[in-house]
Amino acid sequence: MPEAEWHTRLARAVVFASFDGEVAVGLAGLLTSVPGAPGEIMMVYLRRSHRGSGRAAALIAACEARAREAGLTALRLRVAWDNARALGAYCRAGFAVRAEEEGGGTLVLEKALD
């Protein structure tokens, strides 16, 4: 990817963190786009010790709120088809499988923002 595209992407990136006291235990990254277009959740990560705590749902909700503020129409993300825990979290948050990427192994999920 050309360096100019990296700069453009970074200018549209928002990162959310979840803390346990002063320790970051989770991160979520959102790439916004132009109003009226979809954004993309680039990552949701939690330390193993904090999985199942509801923090993933809170991070996803933060991404969704920021996307709505930015006027985006939908959110997309990619997840490995065998990552059942993440897939479950995204589906509970209202995402639905829209496609499987060519070559298999990765699902594309999407959620419309009203």
Tracing tokens 């954004």 back to the chain, one arrives at: 39
CA-to-CA dists, residue 53 to 21, 24, 46, 87, 88, angstroms? 15, 14, 10, 16, 14
Contacts for 81 with CB less than 8 Å, ≥ 6 apart: 87, 100, 104, 105, 106, 107
pLDDT tens per residue, range 22-66: 999 999 999 987 778 889 999 999 999 999 999 999 999 999 999
Q: Which candidate, 31, 25, 39, 29, places its Cα nearest to that of 12?
A: 31
| Predicted TM-score of the model (pTM) | 0.88
Q: What pLDDT, on a 0 to 100 scale, did the predictor assign at position 35?
A: 76
* pLDDT tier at 90, thresholds 50, 70, 90: very high
Read off the CATH number of the domain in which 59 is found: 3.40.630.30
Total domain count, the chain: 1
- Hey, what are 94's tokens? 């209202």
Domain that holds residue 99: 3-112
Percentage of the residues of the chain whose pLDDT score is greater than 70: 100
